[in-house]
Structure 1
Amino acid sequence: MISQLEKEVTFRFLKTRKKDGFLNVISIFSFIGISLGVAVLIIVMSVMNGFRTELVNKIVGFNSHITVKPYTNKINLKKLNENKIKDKIKYYTLSNSGESVILNNNLTKGILLRGYLKSDFDKLDIIKNENFIGNRNSLNEDSVSIGRELSFILNVDLGDSIVLMSPSSVDTIVGSLPKQKKFIISSIFDSGLSDFDSNVAFINLKSLEEFFDYELEKRNLELYFKDPKNIEKQKELVQNFYNEDYVYSWADLNSPLFSALKVERNVMFIILSLIIIVAAFNIISGLTILVKNKTKDIGILKSIGVLNKSIIKIFFLVGVIIGTSATFFGIFLGVAFSIYIENLRELLSNTFNITLFPEEIYFLSKMPSEINIPSIILISVCSILITILVSIFPAMKAARLDPIKSIKYE
């Protein structure tokens, strides 16, 4: 417990006086340093969380949440009627894919073809995108839907035709030749990721199976869940139902990317925590000078019977109050900046006519930010713990002062 005397002396030592000029400067810089460290850490974590969420949303937008690929037997769709899995699924589609080559005038380009039934095509999130151009119900057997970037590369538009070449061969008089077929561009999609838009196209599933000589039994099952982020548990559930088939999720397809993002976030947390640690060491300097300046006061307090543990509490509280108040002020700054970071980006871009977050590099039209409460709590706890640790040494030093010498020589 903290006594009334300890509280009064602590707040008296916190008050600024003219003769404590250099001490006040150190205290102010300690406060500012910790506040900025906490604020910067919250802002960086919020931006990285926002970037990850935006990236997940875009990836989930053009990939199935979970795909079931048959090894031998045809996929049994009746298993989806089980209550355990039925309630979690938003919808499902049948699909298949294969690699092809586009032949257009003098340009050839490799591409991944993904096939869907006409009735399933308009269920896809990427087709519901507001940037989608064309008829959502027109994936006929002679039509193709291509990405915006690919349409720029090929210099084609809606209604134009392209020729696709398959690795499957057809026998002719001159021998075996790769299959070729002309498709009409019926729609153009925009996923927001140029790599996907320039390398993937959609065609009718029946056309794809004929084009690549696929069997009906080899169709994949794509599952779309109501909560695509909690994918590991859902994958485990699906694996229990389809234990004889190969099951993988969108997270498995992009595991290197998300592993890299996780490592980067952890490294940034460690690096930026050093700012708080460096700022916290200013508290040691400030408290050490405070102990030096208050040597006479410490001697008087001891001479009237104040115990060493009370002296420790007083100087310990001074450091903790500075660090804690700085931490909470830093949380306020960090959260406020994270909320209005996009408005600040637009203001700086318009004022100085510079591009701070180019869309063509980051594939995002605005600066993402997502405030994560557990991250803020972790940052706050770390900051306060560092403050507590650095306040212990000067407090112990103050308690070890000899009261007779302190009064005699001051």
Structure 2
Amino acid sequence: MFKPYEVFIGLRYTRAKRRNHFISFISLVSMAGIGLGVMALITVISVMNGFEEELRSRILGMVAHVTVSGDRGALRDWPQVQRLVAAEPGVLASAPYVETEAMISFAGNANGVLLRGIDPAQEPTVAELTLNTTGTTLSALAPGEFGIILGRDLGLALGAKAGDKVTVLIPEASATPAGVLPRMKRFTVLGTFSAGMYEYDSALALVAMPDAQRLVRLGDAVSGVRLRLADLMQAPTVAQRLGQRLPYLAVGDWTRQHVNFFRAVRTEKTVMFIILSLIVGVAAFNIISTLVMMVADKRADIAILRTMGATPGSVMGVFIVQGAVIGVVGTLLGLLGGVALALNIETLVPWLERALHVSLWPTDVYYISSLPSRLQVGDVTRITGLALVLSLLATLYPAWRASRTDPAEALRYE
């Protein structure tokens, strides 16, 4: 089989036992550095992908894809609005809601919350709620019963459980014989829900829509209508079309409400990619130092090759092959390690938490309760390509130095 002698000699230099063991050590360090950098890049970028996707799904499980609201927080002809939006292409479902800020107190504990009045029959079509194991369902929110379902962490903070009565206060005054007092009402806790995201589990409470209308004194009006789309990425387009059809109403979509948050996540992903790429860059510099020392160690061999007719380009090829082998092997090791770690990190993190008896992923800091990971082929390809390109570039200068070796000067003292 045809094999260029540059490849043969380069591979032989890579396998041969060298007189200078320090060069062998630096080669191994370079290989390990590239592997570590590639593994870290694949793992971290996969975690960032999973983090972004998990946040998006959990946020959009509670936030409507598109929201149509009335002037000054009151939408009176909402049944007609529902009929109009149902004819819009891409709209799967809609549900009315009443929303207001409130304070909930129980047993000396108080928390500010977002109180949302919902229609138990329509709300599941636009939001994804996982209720607790006590058997509570949204259908338990019967109009006139003044029941309330608390977020899981909100219930824990208040110390309230099913059957307890909590006091709900809203920032609107009511005139009474005792003077002007904040409007308040006693609600019975029916259970808790879990959205899987601390922001909502700690600050959201659900009540029946008629009860919220009575509390806020909206009459038959609602705060707005929430829409769920077949494709959430079409939310800006659908919102623009609805805004043109309903110019007298306020139409918003999830991208406007959370655009800065997701932009920050993407920026962080880019910055992490650049920072961790420096690990591969440092390993590439190690390849340069390895080959420079190799060139100095093999000056006599280079001179002999030149006197036998080898061209400067062939000498360059020998050392490019040697450096490329270091880069390819290190990249492949990092690729295998990174893919294995990214695919199993959701299992490894809980194991470490149990082994170390610490919480590595507190929900009140990181919004979500687990470390997600999503491995994307495009990211793996870019990271692998970056490592290979840097490794190849690192071989050019030492290989060029080797090609410039003067045979007579190199053999003078041999």
Range of TM-score over shorter length: 0.7 to 0.9
Q: Distance in 1 between matches of 2:307 and 2:132?
A: 78
Identity within the alignment, %: 29
1:98 maps to which residue?
100
1:156 aligns with 2:160: yes
More displaced stretch, 269-278 vs 204-213: 204-213
Aligned to 2:375, the other structure's residue is in SS state: coil
Count of aligned positions: 403
1:378 aligns with 2:382: yes
CA 1:108/1:20 → structure 2, altered by over 3 Å: closer, same or farther?
closer
1:273 aligns with 2:274: no
Task: Decide whether the 8 Å contact of 2:131 with 2:192 is kept in 1.
Answer: no
1:288 aligns with 2:289: no
More displaced stretch, 375-384 vs 233-242: 233-242
Q: Distance in 2 between matches of 1:293 and 1:332?
A: 33
| Paired letter, 2:5 | L
Shift of 1:174: 5.1
Shift of 1:288: 0.9
2:83 maps to which residue?
78
Shift of 1:369: 1.7
Shift of 1:33: 0.9
Q: Distance in 2 between matches of 1:96 and 1:257?
A: 25
After TM superposition, the score normalised by the length of structure 2 is 0.87
Task: Decide whether the 8 Å contact of 2:110 with 2:158 is kept in 1.
Answer: no
CA 1:110/1:9 → structure 2, altered by over 3 Å: closer, same or farther?
closer
Q: Distance in 1 between matches of 2:355 and 2:190?
A: 42
Task: Decide whether the 8 Å contact of 2:295 with 2:402 is kept in 1.
Answer: yes
Task: Decide whether the 8 Å contact of 2:102 with 2:112 is kept in 1.
Answer: yes
Task: Decide whether the 8 Å contact of 1:99 with 1:111 is kept in 2.
Answer: yes
More displaced stretch, 144-153 vs 380-389: 144-153
More displaced stretch, 32-41 vs 314-323: 314-323
| Residues 268-303 of structure 1: CA deviation (Å, up to 9, x unaligned) | 222211111111111111111111122122222222
Task: Decide whether the 8 Å contact of 1:85 with 1:238 is kept in 2.
Answer: no
Q: Distance in 2 between matches of 1:349 and 1:373?
A: 29
1:180-219 residue pairs with structure 2 within 5 A?
A: 180-214=184-218, 216=220, 219=223
| Paired letter, 2:119 | L
Q: Distance in 1 between matches of 2:283 and 2:380?
A: 18
Aligned-pair Cα RMSD in Å: 2.7
Aligned to 1:189, the other structure's residue is in SS state: strand
Aligned to 1:340, the other structure's residue is in SS state: helix
1:309 maps to which residue?
313
1:236 maps to which residue?
237
Task: Decide whether the 8 Å contact of 1:132 with 1:190 is kept in 2.
Answer: no
1:316-327 residue pairs with structure 2 within 5 A?
A: 316-327=320-331
Q: Distance in 1 between matches of 2:198 and 2:368?
A: 11
Shift of 1:355: 4.0
Task: Decide whether the 8 Å contact of 1:66 with 1:247 is kept in 2.
Answer: yes
| Paired letter, 1:7 | V
1:179 aligns with 2:183: yes
More displaced stretch, 26-35 vs 201-210: 201-210
CA 1:289/1:132 → structure 2, altered by over 3 Å: closer, same or farther?
farther
Shift of 1:398: 1.0
1:29 maps to which residue?
29
CA 1:408/1:200 → structure 2, altered by over 3 Å: closer, same or farther?
same
1:383-398 residue pairs with structure 2 within 5 A?
A: 383-398=387-402
Aligned to 2:121, the other structure's residue is in SS state: helix
Structure 1: gaps of 5 or more residues: none
1:4 aligns with 2:4: yes
Q: Distance in 2 between matches of 1:140 and 1:249?
A: 30
| Residues 367-390 of structure 1: CA deviation (Å, up to 9, x unaligned) | 322212222122112111211221
More displaced stretch, 186-195 vs 321-330: 186-195
Task: Decide whether the 8 Å contact of 1:143 with 1:184 is kept in 2.
Answer: yes
| Paired letter, 2:23 | L
| Paired letter, 1:312 | M
Structure 2: gaps of 5 or more residues: none
Q: Distance in 2 between matches of 1:176 and 1:295?
A: 95
2:371 maps to which residue?
367
